[in-house]
Amino acid sequence: MVFLRPVSYLRNAIASDQVQRKDRKAQPDNYGDAVCNAIMHLDKGHWLAKQAIERFSESYDGMVWASGGPTLVIEPTALINGLIN
């Protein structure tokens, strides 16, 4: 990822990798239905950072590909948005 403009104004932001440019043009408020852990900017002590670290320490397995993958942030954000029980 390369940013051509400053992003220092963003606070407590997380990226979505589910939305394509053509979709955003058709629906400007469409931010996708999932987040990714590739790009995050969270304040120190943010609840999502704490959740991700806790989940990582519980689930990491060096023998399993992506055991510390996107679900570390997808599940907690889906819970608060009511997408999963």
pLDDT given for residue 42 in this prediction = 87
- Give me the pLDDT at residue 33, please: 63
Contact of 42 with 48, CB cutoff 8 Å: yes
Ranges under pLDDT 50 in the chain: 83-85
Distance in angstroms (rounded) separating the CA atoms of residues 75 and 37: 11
Longest dimension (CA), the chain: 42
Give the pTM: 0.61
